[in-house]
Amino acid sequence: MIQTHYFINANAFHRKKLWKIMTIISMMLTMLIGNASWINGAENTPSEKKLYIYSNREFAGFFKDIGYPDLWYNDIRISKNSIGTALRFLNESKRKIVVVTCDGSITVVDSPGYLAWLNDANQVIAWFDEKSRVHYANGTSEKRPFSPYSGPDPSGRYFIKEFPDLPLQPRGESCNTCLYSTDKPNIPLVKVPICATQRLFYKDSKVFLAGSQYYEGHWQQEMYIFQEKGDTLKQIDRIALQRPDNSSATFYAEDLSPWDDEVLYLDVYDFPSRSRWYSFNLKTHQLIEVGKKSFWGGRAFYLQCDILKKAKIGSTK
């Protein structure tokens, strides 16, 4: 009886030990499978690319934190590159451009004019002098420049020139816009029946022109899409969209997502109401509210990362 009792306890001991070993192995396998990127030597981090909405107070605090508080003011011109990895801040009076990127770098570039525009390589490709004459990187200049409101598209490839309309033409027939290449700024590529609040974007060898046209007593929001064909542009689509309400205030495109079929629109409201941002899907044609502008003012961009956070961290290293 004593011998039999010993073997029963021994078997129970070995089964308990085996169960512990199997539990440990199971936990290790769960950790490995759940974090498969660890096996490949890569860090499994969520994507940071999304729409970022910044207030002017955040921008002002950022410039203070990186040591350039004197270069910030609320109406400063802000642009981004076409892939959403850089923001550029142009101080007109001091002729300085602050470039911050997703890799945490902060660069201050001298601007050759009081207004200047950059390409994706953050090189100046056009600028205004004091006589409102525009100069191009290829050495040419002209008195009638592109629209200073929109400037070139974020990549720096294309820009807008308003077509010289005849003053006696009907309003709807006189609205036209011409597109040009910054490499050949004197050769018109295409004339488009769009006038007010034009914005130009570039992605995947396509050019997107957003603006409005005047039809039978009202303004119609439109988006023209062109495909690059050698040195020319070929229209491949035209999309009309309705703004959220019939307001007389401005409604215009602000940004294009580098990774999705979304265009960001701003519906402007006067104080004390807050202006609202909407995302327009170019495929489904759905218009969805995505945020409101701060009472202090602000901007929104489709970015690959929280650039202000990355640059702030980089400035402290």
291-314 residue pLDDT tens? 999 988 999 999 999 999 998 886
Average pLDDT of 211-221?
Answer: 80
Reported in sequence order, the residue ranges of 111-231 that DSSP labels E, i.e. its strands, are: 115-118, 124-128, 134-136, 141-142, 158-162, 177-181, 188-192, 196-203, 206-215, 218-229
Average pLDDT of 20-47?
Answer: 41
Token match 């892939």: residue?
83
Average pLDDT of 159-185?
Answer: 69
243-253 residue pLDDT tens? 887 777 788 99
Which amino acid type is present at position 153? D
Of 226, 136, 133, the closest CA to residue 178 belongs to 226
Quickly count: other Cβ atoms within 10 Å of residue 18's Cβ.
Answer: 10
Categorize the per-residue pLDDT at 317 as very low, low, confident or very high, splitting at 50, 70 and 90: low
When mean pLDDT is compared across 12-21, 145-154, 172-181, the lowest value belongs to 12-21
Task: Indicate the pTM of the whole model.
Answer: 0.81
**Residue 194, SS3 per DSSP:** coil
Average pLDDT of 161-180?
Answer: 62
The predicted pLDDT at position 217 comes to 72
- Tell whether the model's pLDDT for residue 257 goes beyond 60: yes
The predicted pLDDT at position 210 comes to 93
